[in-house]
Chain A
Amino acid sequence: MNKDIVIEAKGLTKKYGHALAVDRISFSVARGEIFGLLGPNGAGKTTTILMLLGLTEISGGDVRVLGFDPAREPLSVKRRVGYMPDTVGFYDQLTAADNLRYTARLIGFKKSEREKRIADALGHVGLAEFADKRVGTFSRGMRQRLGLAEILMKGAQIAILDEPTSGLDPHATAELLTIIRGFKSEGVSVLLSSHLLERVQSVCDRVALFSNGHIALMGSVAELGRQILGGGFVVDIEAEGAGLADRLALIPGVSGVERTGIGRLRLHADRDVRPEAAAEVVAMQGRLKYLGVQEPSLDAIYNRYFETKPDEALSTSEGARHAA
């Protein structure tokens, strides 16, 4: 097995009675990668996560987490994987530190190691001053951060986060996403699920779009954008300089130049032409004020994908209702 693959699922299937919750999905997550499971509620994201952790039985297919089979070696998997469930709960009557102490004891850390890990983890998520406050007084965002602290304390190699940003205000979401990016820089792989596509788009290296128990699309956001939105980059430029539009139109790959305001141009191209565009402006001794490429949005990809396949989109929303 490839050493850099930490999660590998092949034909993973989950049946509840006759209903297929997850239908033969295959994906893999590399070390240090942030992988997003995205899709509407009830599309099978949480079920997939629970199968990875060995918390629900696998009906078919094969899955390896860090080389272990979650169904047969759940303790080895759970020792190395951190999990934050959807709307994570803590014991309200205990303090934040006591909650983590309980988890640390369950994991089996020695006492001296325990206290250090807890203090480090709480500091990392900005809860150090709340360590001795009861969790009952915590806001939703603080609880989610405490959930991440638990994963940090565990020293997990993989962090599995189920709907980490649901129900959070934009500020708390931004804080949380910053911590999640921090996981990546420490070499921790992150698998996160969300139904809010645009919120997590910015942190995910690759995403899998779930629909009705299948993975409809998988890849990086840019790849999916090219694949579904028909390729085409849109580059916005704000610069001063006479005849700039004509010069920019000559860059190889640019298919059109559009004036969007005074000194503002929009280039349509089949690749990212920002370096060339910048070079042109500088060569003309123009003043470059703004240069940006419009990232393809997951929302647009998702909608476009299901517009072309209306049947599947319809059954997705029905599936969501059944699951709810």
Chain B
Amino acid sequence: MRREGSAFQGLGVVALKELSDHLSSTRMRVLEWLVVLVALAALYGAIQQIKDTTAEDPFLFLRLFTTSRDPLPSFVSFISFLVPLMAIGLGFDAVNGEYNRRTLSRILAQPIYRDALLFGKFVAGLVTLAISLLALWLLVVGLGLLLIGIPPTAEEIARSFIFLVVTVIYAGVWLALALLFSVLFRSAATAALVTLGLWLFITFIWPVLAGAVAQIIAPPDPRYIALGLPTPATAEAEHILARLSPSTLFAETVVALLDPTTRSLGPIYLSQLQGAVLGAPLPLSESVLIAWPQTVGMIASAIVLFVIGYVIFQRQEVRA
């Protein structure tokens, strides 16, 4: 038998309320300042580096995002580090917070479904992140114009804008994860710690572990070792394992988008490079094509994580 009414009734109301909560919360302000200050530092480093080493680079503007100068990492590495933190910061107490404030059963006693509450919270979190990242992106583009003095080409703007969209998708993955744990754990502190722990594991430990596990799955061939080359099977296994982490997917997408000379994100054979003009930039559409599987992977993992959280939330008891 079908459920009565729409699952999305009240969705807009929940999303707007959560959005206004996010935008006015102290937590959000702290996170925004953190991101802005760190981004400015990275940008400053990048601009100094570019000024020192200016060569004839057709994509000078994109270098703003990817260039680093010791001891600061590049803007992109900062973003890939801070965006998950922001998303987790917005999502870790989404559902258990309602529960602990004892507002959950009161809100669910209104004529809405649980779907609207959870999805509204996800949408509000994602919109908040999108607004912050858009502001940051405009800041970078504006400062770049002012400080480098070379206007970006249309392709550069397009590439960096797609990078912005991909970053929002990446944030969505972590937001969905934080939301899942906020459903799973009744204590907000536990949810935050577990989410942050998982983030550390996925982002910093897993890429290292992937190499080790790959060697067990596909032991390196001694003949390749003798030649000083990586065994193709091992390299392939390592890539597959590393790509289980959304951080890897994001890093690969960013490389493909912001560095137009990127031709492949995995190992390739020399034979495949035959006829290629190495170092020649690819057109935008080709770069997007290279980044596409990774982007879809991130969208899929966000959806899967959200659905798991949704199913658990539907079956959860609302009583204290």
Contacts and interface: CB of A to CB of B under 8 A. Distances in A.
Contact of A55 (B9, B10, B101, B108): B108
Contact of B319 (A56, A78, A84): A56
Nearest to A55: B318
| Among A55, A88, A103: residue with most chain B CB under 10 A | A55
Interface stretch (A69-77, A181-189, A196-204): A69-77
B108 A91 contact: no
A55 B105 contact: yes
A79 B102 contact: no
Interface string B87-119: 000000000000001110111111111000000
B106 A84 contact: yes
Contact of A107 (B14, B108, B111): B111
A103 B110 contact: yes
Contacts of B13: 102, 105-106
A89 B110 contact: no
A56 B317 contact: yes
B52 interface: no
A105 B120 CA distance: 14
A90 B105 CA distance: 11
B320 interface: yes
B9 A75 contact: yes
A47 interface: yes
B4 interface: yes
A290 B319 CA distance: 48
Interface residues of B, number: 26
A263 interface: no
A85 interface: yes
A85 B4 contact: no
B5 interface: yes
A contact face: mostly helix, strand, loop, or mixed = mixed
Nearest to A49: B319
B29 interface: no
B319 A150 contact: no
B4 A83 contact: no
A76 B17 CA distance: 24
Contact of B111 (A79, A84, A89): A79
Interface string B254-282: 00000000000000000000000000000
A83 B105 contact: yes
Given A75-B9, A83-B106, A92 B101 contact: yes
A75 B103 contact: no
Contacts of B112: 75, 78, 106
Contacts of A74: 3-4, 111, 113
Interface in A30-50: 46-47, 50
Contacts of B150: none
A141 interface: no
A270 interface: no
Nearest to A93: B21
Nearest to A46: B319
B1 interface: yes
B111 A106 contact: yes
A73 B109 CA distance: 13
B4 A75 contact: yes
A87 interface: yes
A89 B319 contact: no
Given A102-B17, A106-B13, A85 B111 contact: no
A89 B98 CA distance: 9
A257 B3 CA distance: 65
A134 to B, nearest CB: 13
Given A74-B4, A106-B14, A56 B318 contact: yes
Contacts of B317: 50, 56
Nearest to A89: B102
A147 interface: yes
A87 B13 CA distance: 24
Contacts of A107: 110-111
A280 interface: no
Interface string A302-323: 0000000000000000000000
A72 B111 CA distance: 13
Contacts of B111: 74-76, 78-79, 106-108
A107 B105 CA distance: 15
A86 interface: yes
Given A75-B9, A87-B102, 16 more contacts: A55-B318, A56-B317, A72-B3, A73-B4, A78-B110, A83-B105, A85-B102, A85-B106, A89-B101, A102-B13, A102-B17, A103-B106, A105-B17, A106-B112, A108-B9, A108-B111
Q: Ordered nearest first, which 6 A-B pairs have the shortest CB separation?
A: A89-B102, A83-B109, A79-B111, A106-B110, A105-B13, A85-B105
